[in-house]
Amino acid sequence: GAVVSQHPSRVICKSGTSVKIECRSLDFQATTMFWYRQFPKQSLMLMATSNEGSKATYEQGVEKDKFLINHASLTLSTLTVTSAHPEDSSFYICSARAGTGATGQFFGPGTRLTVL
């Protein structure tokens, strides 16, 4: 099956710093990538949808200036958490979908962010 990787798998940073998380589709071209966030013992919530070469679409309540998403190529999307604070500590998971007609959506292994 298709493989999606995320890097880093785990990151600890100080409050006020920025953290970049990469999501890569390893064996297919992903025209659409989704970013989800999961707080401890909660469900996954969609943060934003990014289509290659265009601006991301953010869900209501997600600050686009704080969570910068770049989908510059068909195999890579990045999520940058700017000026991170402890309340941003969460599990961030991306998923990737190939092409407009594709029905498969593949999840990355997730990135656990801890902001001290």
Partner 1 sequence: AQKVTQAQTEISVVEKEDVTLDCVYETRDTTYYLFWYKQPPSGELVFLIRRNSFDEQNEISGRYSWNFQKSTSSFNFTITASQVVDSAVYFCALSGMDTGRRALTFGSGTRLQVQP
User: Cβ atoms within 10 A of the Cβ of 28, count?
Assistant: 19
- Please tell me whether residue 95 binds partner 1 under the rule CB under 8 A: yes
- With 0-12 / 13-18 / 19 or more C-beta atoms within 10 angstroms meaning exposed / middle / buried, residue 68 is middle
Site map (CB under 8 A) of partner 1, residues 28-57, x = contact: ----x-x-x-x---xxxxx--x--------
Q: Which is nearer to partner 1, 75 or 111 (CB)?
A: 111
Stretch that binds partner 1, among 16-24, 63-71, 74-82, 87-95 (CB under 8 A): 87-95
Residue closer to partner 1, measured from CB, 50 or 78: 50
